[in-house]
Structure 1
Amino acid sequence: MTKKIYLQLWLMLLGVVSLANSQQQESKNEKPNILFISIDDLRPTLGAYGDTAAITPNLDALASQGMTFMDTYAQVAVCAPSRASLMTGLRPDATRVWHLGDKFRDINPEAVTMPQYFAKHGYHTVNMGKIYHNYMPDSISWDEPDLRPSRYLKKEWLKRDGETFYISEAVNKSQVIKRDSLLKLRPERYADGWNTGPAWEAADVHDTMYYDGAQTKLAKQTLTRLSKSKAPFFFGLGYFRPHLPFTAPKKYWDLYDRDKIPTAINPEIPKGAPLHTMNSMYELRHYDGFGYIGHPTSPNRISKDTILSLKHGYYACVSYVDSLIGDLIAHMKTIGIYENTIIIVFGDHGWKLGEHNSWGKMTNYNIDLKVPMIIRYPNQQVKGTKSYAITELIDMFPSLCELSGIPVPEYMQGTSFVPLLDKPDLPWKKAAFSQFHRRPKVSADGKRYMGYSMNTGKYHYIEWYEWDDKKGSRGEYKTSELYDSEDDAYETINLAKEEKFATIVKELSVQLLEGWEQAKPAR
């Protein structure tokens, strides 16, 4: 072999090695995609969280490949404030979004949301379903705001929630009649007046005939399209079920023997709790046949048969969404984007299924505050593990930034949980902080309050204050609640007035006043 040929071969070899190294480096520098899945009203009713009744093989499988956070708290147990907080990385007293009707963009026009921030760092952002409260697509946040299945794009449905659709034609006709009557009384209404009808439905139809199924079909098509782009994507996908009404294809109801679904262990209001802690259950009362139910403090009780039907419906809806997510993940693997995608799944708050003689959310109790949060990400080293460290939904914003290799905004009021992904037992937050604004029309005593909640692991402590809704400021201290989370996990007895807990109450009151900044982990 001549020296000239040898040199040419050597240069070609160097070129191949150089190209390979360049491609490898480019692959290393490639930002991961993000699939951000919100599931409305989802408490930890999943097999991965130890619920032996729940049939959730797909989310359990995701947990087996990722990290499951076992002690995660919402900042507020109702949609709008919870979502405003987690999407901006700011706590409710900073967003000033305290109840269902508050619109974060009207209150904070300059707010920078999670997708908005990721867009600034090269991400293509897409929204489908319920990410903010109801249909607040917030076009500022998304490159593609508010994608919907084509059959739901009727002009008269543009303000209608995906949760309000039924299969029954008789129900559909009654909804139109009721809506017309409601809009005559008040033109601006929740769900644009469409939230009427029965509390459950089990139609024997294909998954795509209900909204969440149709939305999943569109999500698969959208992921296929996004997979062909060079830009990484941030895809916010919000499922409506298991929000009321509990509507899902019959096959998911058939998974369960309703008589074997356990009823609430703690069906009474906590002993010694102030009456204003409980919400009026107006959400369920709005559905057909539930006009008779009063406030949880009233003697009116739902029959055992109805209790089982409601719980059956909730579980069926959870299994329905689990199946849809499994289908979505299988599709991601088929089109080759699963490995380079961060998948995070969470509930925006919990939901009472008879606990504390109540149905719904909207309290400071942990049945409403505790939520599932599962994450799986590229090149994950520690898989199938659980962390019992205290985490909060507000932690997602900084965590996803860190995992994606983009700067974490300095103003974040949550803490990145990324260190826990490799060391689940790492000493972590001292407490989680939540709150709830109790309005007069749904309070047992007709007065207005703000309740501030703190979970420390050992204790759940709550302080209630008068609240000036015009100024958005707390007034006089009214009362407190204390629950022993280790010995009374179902929060049945308020210990705050017991003399032997006086010192603990005093210490926790100081810690609550010091707030979230003093509870952050040392890093």
Structure 2
Amino acid sequence: MPQYLRTRTALFLCSLCLLAATVHAQATAADRPNVLFISVDDLRPELGCYGNEEIKTPHFDAFSKRATTFTQAYCQAAVCAPSRASVMTGLRPDSTRVWDLRGNFRQNLPDVVTLPQHFHKHGYHTVSMGKIFHNHMPDRVSFDEPDLRPAKYMTAELIDREPESFYHDDALNAELVRIRKRRLEKNPNAYADGWAYGRSTESFDAPDSEFYDGAQTDLAIQTLGRLKEKKQPFFLALGYYRPHLPFVAPTKYWELYDRDQLSMASNPFLPKNSPVMAMNSAYELKGCYDLEHVKHPSVAKLTEQEARLLKHGYYASVSFVDACLGKLLKGLTEHGLDKNTIIVVWGDHGWKLGEHGSWCKQTNYDIDLRVPLLVHVPGQTSSGACRAIVELVDLYPTLCDAAGIAIPDNMEGTSFLPLLSDPELNWKSAAFSQFHRSPRVTPDGGRYMGLSMVTSRYHYVQWRDWNHVTGVAGDLVAVELYDQQVDPSENTNIAGLDKHQPLVTKLSQQLHRGWQFAMPVE
């Protein structure tokens, strides 16, 4: 056979192979499960399915009956931007170099492939709405359809507005617009694009769809109807804004609770022997007009009436999101998508409701680091609570594993998919988190990084001098140790007791070895 015929024949056969591979890949992608990826901002494990008998969360609780409910799930940093960057890249804060609210992983790692980008590469159509990345710095390149909003929020005056700051009081909204204008005139790069909070709470008697999270639930259900017509699986990310401050929710959810009967924090005081850099007090409350007297970094000084109002607002906001979740999952079923959709519901970090004399997040305490995480995979035969230690950084590889697509080599978490079949497996020995303190908020003007490690019994934290430019932690300045078996609320730091020094040494060595040596043994 002449050379040119051999070449043409080879090219033809090669084309057939490529075509066959493409058809196979398309068929494989079409058969893969969809992903419904639901984040809830500032949601701590304060749900009925986590043992709280006071809060009203019937839809979370119903979903938990067909999902695995992880009771020992931990975020990598107890504040939005670093936690979400870690989830969406599968990398830890020291790798993304996002340690605070201003950090931007895309500037630090321009070519990093996020979770939805990776699913797109494997045949998925990816869509986002609500708060997935930190809201004022969304990563639009991650999605085929980024940052969808309900139509009524797409007007010129609302398109650049932070949904967290929406009130129904028109006078208050107008005042916030004026504040923003003044901030931007003073500093064009003002944090959160200049938006501010008004009041800490608002109850308004209107349908759920008149509130942002209710409206975007309706949009998500409409989008599901559109996505099911595509000949490819979808990855739909929906980020709920509540229960983030301000606590704005329909009146009917406020009416579920008697404010005077709500149980308040049993430990409204700093942990005994706590180092000065460990507590943040109530950073976010200062942004609310009605709580301007709250000073930082001292312990938050709220009256009982103010504290009850905040807890009431938090609970009402959680119940509102619970209703949104129930409506969304009902819509998924009505569209016939429930049998072939992975569903993940997660909170980005915990939140204090007066514990340790403080509010909000931004510490290394368990109350801020432990998060709700519920996962359902099609065909899952077991459900219920799983007490194994898992981390939010594990979500990226877990979803890849569940969808049958390749797990990237650079992951700094591990797939916990086996736990959905056998929740009693011997799993990770520890979870690793961190939080930094800047001179702006520390009483002594120091800059520190708190390195946290939670084992099956102990919570160990090292505070070190920290260089925010290089990201290098230096000299050890303080240590915390909590025995969660006898002190689950972490009220006493026992690191300084002589009898615990062998344990402190052992845990220090384990922390130094790092997360790589805490992975489950295959």
* Residue of structure 2 equivalent to 1:377: 377
Q: Which residue of 1 aligns with 2:418?
A: 419
Partner residue in 1 for 2:264 = 263
1:259 is displaced (CA, Å) by 1.7
Show CA shifts across 1:112-137 (max 9, x none).
10000000000000010100001333
Partner of 2:188: 187
Percentage identity across paired residues of the two chains: 52
| Amino acid of the structure 2 residue aligned with 1:223 | L
Q: Distance in 1 between matches of 2:470 and 2:70?
A: 36
CA distance in 2, matches of 1:36, 1:480: 37
Per-residue deviation, residues 128-148 of structure 1 (Å, max 9, x unmatched): 010000133312210001101
- Structure-2 residue corresponding to 1:302: 302
Q: Which deviates more from structure 2 when the two are superposed, residues 439-448 or residues 97-106?
A: 439-448
| Aligned amino acid, residue 100 of structure 1 | L
Aligned-partner SS, 1:277 = coil
Shift of 1:28: 11
Match of 1:498 in 2: 497
The residue aligned with 1:209 is 210
- For the residue of structure 2 that corresponds to 1:112, the secondary structure is coil
What is the deviation of 1:443?
Answer: 1.8
Give the distance between the partners of 2:472 and 2:357, measured in 1 at CA: 31
The alpha-carbon deviation at position 37 of structure 1 amounts to 0.3
In structure 2, the residue matched to 1:428 is 427
Match of 2:12 in 1: none
- Please state if 1:441 is matched with 2:434: no
Separation (CA, whole Å) in 2 of partners of 1:475 and 1:158: 44
1:377 Cα deviation from its structure 2 partner: 1.6
Deviations for 1:140-168, whole angstroms, at most 9, x for unmatched residues? 21000110111212334333221110011
Q: Is the 8 A contact 1:125 1:235 kept in 2?
A: yes
Farther-moved stretch of structure 1 (287-296 vs 455-464): 287-296
Q: 1:510 corresponds to which residue?
A: 509
Counterpart CA distance in 1 for 2:101 and 2:224 is: 31
SS in 2 for 1:140: helix
Residue 419 of structure 1 and its aligned partner are, at CA, apart by: 0.8
User: 1:316 maps to what in 2?
Assistant: 316
Alignment map for 1:44-83 (pairs within 5 Å): 44-83=45-84
1:115 aligns with 2:116: yes
2:450 counterpart of 1:456:
no
1:199–1:284 CA contact under 8 A, matched in 2 = yes
Q: TM-score, normalised by structure 1?
A: 0.93
Q: Distance in 2 between matches of 1:357 and 1:184?
A: 37
Helix, strand or coil at the partner of 1:491: coil
TM-score normalised by structure 2 residue count? 0.93
1:130 corresponds to? 131
Asked if the contact 2:29/2:232 (under 8 Å) is kept, the reply is: no
Compute the displacement of 1:189 (Å). 2.5
Task: State yes or no: 1:36 paired with 2:11.
Answer: no
Unmatched 5+ stretches in structure 2: 1-26
What is the SS of the residue equivalent to 2:173? helix
C-alpha displacement at 1:499, in angstroms? 0.5
Partners of 1:264 and 1:355 within 8 A in 2: yes
Tell me which residue corresponds to 2:393: 394
CA offset digits 1:33-70 (Å, max 9, x no partner): 00000000000011000011111111111100111000
- 2:75/2:371 contact within 8 Å kept: yes
CA distance in 2 between partners of 1:182 and 1:439 (Å): 23
1:281 pairs with 2:262 = no
Closer, same or farther in 2 for the Cα pair 1:288/1:95, shift >3 Å? same
In 1: Cα distance, 2:174 partner to 2:147 partner: 26
Moved more, 413-422 or 155-164: 155-164
Aligned to 1:15: none
Q: CA deviation at 1:29?
A: 7.2
Whether the 8 Å CA contact 1:135–1:159 is kept in 2: the answer is no
- TM-superposed CA distance for 1:74, in Å, is 0.3
> Is the contact between residue 178 and residue 196 of structure 1 (CA under 8 Å) also seen in structure 2?
no
Asked whether the 8 Å contact 2:462–2:476 carries over to 1, the reply is yes
1:17 alignment counterpart? none
Q: Give the deviation of 1:407 after TM superposition.
A: 1.1
CA distance in structure 2 between the aligned counterparts of 1:107 and 1:410, rounded to whole angstroms? 19
Q: CA deviation at 1:88?
A: 0.5
The corresponding residue for 2:6 is none
Q: CA deviation at 1:280?
A: 4.6
The residue aligned with 2:94 is 93
